[in-house]
Amino acid sequence: MTRRRWLLALIVLLVAAGGLALFWLFDGATGVETVQARISSLGYWAPIGFILLYAISTVAMLPGGFFDLAGGALFGPIWGSVLNLAGVTLGAAVSFLIARYVAGDWVQRRAGPRVQQVIKSVETDGWQFVAFIRLVPVFPYPLANYLLGLTRIPFLHYMLATIVFALPSTIAYTWIGHAGREAVAGKTDNIYYALIVLALVAVLVMAPRFYKRFRNKTP
């Protein structure tokens, strides 16, 4: 079996393990309290398992918004933000290294012309381009991890830019998850702040359209 097939088999195994863990966590759960009780029963393994599940989902190119919201609902706004950032950073690192050293050809074939666009942007702007796509979702986050692995940006620059500039959106979604749980429990004190955060997220989501229009008008 080739190295690429071994890697694919490992990813499939990890995704399956993550799916079983999520099934155990949510099967028969009647509310957030039930899920929280199951998490508490894991002790110190709970945050470790959450980080690993988040990282696996990132490598598997699944949307990470669910984990951001779940982290806020289950661990609170502060620890939830810490765990979410750790999970998304670990997943970003693994995806980047897979594209750079193991499955670059595979990623390039599936990304198509977007590869050259990203390579050109990184060669021009370096870590600043990484910062931009972390702040503004021009590319889906999991896909961007693989695309950046095909560029010549140093791994350390990539990681530092990812950690720093993924933090705002991570905190925003974590807070929304926390506020949502509070609202379900009848506590509405955080709703005002959650609406502000939602407005900021909407700005981030709409920003790529304005950016493309600006680039198209630029001579």
Q: What is the pLDDT of residue 204?
A: 57
Alpha-carbon span 219 to 87, nearest angstrom = 40
Q: Which of 122, 165, 141 is nearest to 58 (CA)?
A: 141
**89 in Cβ contact with 162 (< 8 Å):** yes
What letter would DSSP give residue 112?
Answer: T
pLDDT per residue of the chain (219 residues) written in tens, 0 to 9: 566 666 666 666 766 766 676 666 656 655 666 666 666 676 777 888 889 889 988 888 877 778 888 888 888 889 999 999 999 999 999 999 988 887 777 677 766 677 777 778 887 878 888 888 887 767 778 888 988 888 888 999 999 999 998 888 888 888 888 877 766 665 555 555 555 555 565 555 555 555 555 455 444
- Residue where the block lists tokens 């990890």: 14
Q: What is the pLDDT of residue 144?
A: 86
Token pair belonging to 59: 């490598």
Q: What is the pLDDT of residue 219?
A: 46
Confidence (pTM): 0.75
Q: What is the pLDDT of residue 87?
A: 93
Alpha-carbon span 29 to 61, nearest angstrom = 26
Angle between helices 32-40 and 45-59 (to 10 degrees): 110
Question: What are the residue ranges spanned by the domains of the chain?
Answer: 3-217
Alpha-carbon span 99 to 21, nearest angstrom = 27
